[in-house]
Amino acid sequence: MSNIENQQNCFNNIRIVLVNTSHPGNIGATARAMKNMGLSHLTLVDPEQFPSPVASGRAVAAVDILERAKVVATLEEAVSDCGLVIGASARVRRIPWPLMSPVETAVKVADESRLNQVALVFGREDSGLTNEELQLCHFHVHIAADENYSSLNLAAAVMVICYEVRMELLRRASLTAPAPVHNDETIVEGVDWDVPKATGQQLENFYTHLEQAMIDLYFHDPENPRLLMMRMRRLFGRIRPDQMEISILRGLLSHVDMLQERAARNISVEQQRQERRAAKKDSDGEI
Ligand code: SAH
């Protein structure tokens, strides 16, 4: 694939997600900013008014983006197939989480959009993103605006981030030199790393499994959860496991489940293995 085609692929793998937007004008202005910067996938989570003539009016020649916009009920749904999710936050350290500048964000997005679906998430005009929504993001990005008034208009914030992403992708497309020589410490996504990151849905399934296993082990008390799951999400969000690694962890948790079952029924490993083999044979036979 040529550099240009490669970058086109990247543009295609990036989506802008607007959460619970109240003013349709901001949705239209976002579509326009996206089209100006070469992005075309817009996902709207529970918008207050959409479709709307106000949105179409503000989009001007970017109505095609509005026409193709996906509308979903929750942020979880919007990012279920994404390997990288970055949430834009007007407030720094609302919850302590890995934080990047727009330029760092652009580099990460350019790296990972070669192989993964990437979501850039923006919050409500009045209250931004909730803590739960911020926890669905691997990273947060903050635009260092003036501290006396650091909250940008929603579409203006989208523009700043999309502009930086575009600059980084164009910079890479114009590089005609062969790929730089890299060592173990400079892993290039999509080149040295060929397993895609776990998607939002795979991570959610993993967290559900992990939480249940911790409850079964009496390690986690759902009556007194404290911040355990938030910390677990932050830990795995920082590690960013790939799909193979998540499947190993799920396998490990399944063995914890098996251990529980053995203890509860007081059976041996061999007995359990035999039962499982027989059950598998039965279910294979059904097909
Ligand atoms: N009053 C809200 C800000 C909402 S602005 C609050 O205090 O959280 C709407 C959205 O635009 C924000 O949720 C965020 O996604 C984006 N945004 C606005 N200003 C930003 C900034 N300085 N850095 C990063 N994102 C910003």
As a whole number of angstroms, the distance between CA 204 and CA 12 comes to 24
pLDDT, tens digit, 9 for 90 and up, residues 26-63: 999 999 999 999 999 999 999 999 999 999 999 999 99
Check if 125 has its Cβ closer than 6 Å to any atom of ligand 1.
yes
Low pLDDT (below 70) residues in the chain? 1-2, 175-192, 286-287
- Our answer on whether the CB atom of 123 is closer than 6 Å to any ligand 1 atom is yes
pLDDT of residue 178: 47
Q: Which residue minimizes the CA distance to atom 20 of ligand 1?
A: 90
What confidence score (pLDDT) does residue 179 get? Answer: 52
pLDDT of residue 258: 94
Q: Where are the domains of the chain?
A: 3-173, 200-286
Contact between 192 and 182 under an 8 Å Cβ cutoff? The reply is yes
Looking at the domain that runs over 200-286, which CATH code has it been given?
A: 1.10.8.590
Instruction: Compute, in angstroms, the gap from residue 77 CA to the centroid of ligand 1.
Output: 21
Ligand 1 centre and the CA of 127: distance in Å?
8
Minimum-distance ligand 1 atom for the alpha carbon of 141: 24
Equal CATH topology for 3-173 and 200-286: no
3-173, superfamily in CATH? SPOUT methyltransferase, trefoil knot domain (3.40.1280.10)
pLDDT of amino acid 177: 46
From the CB of 29, is ligand 1 less than 6 Å away? no
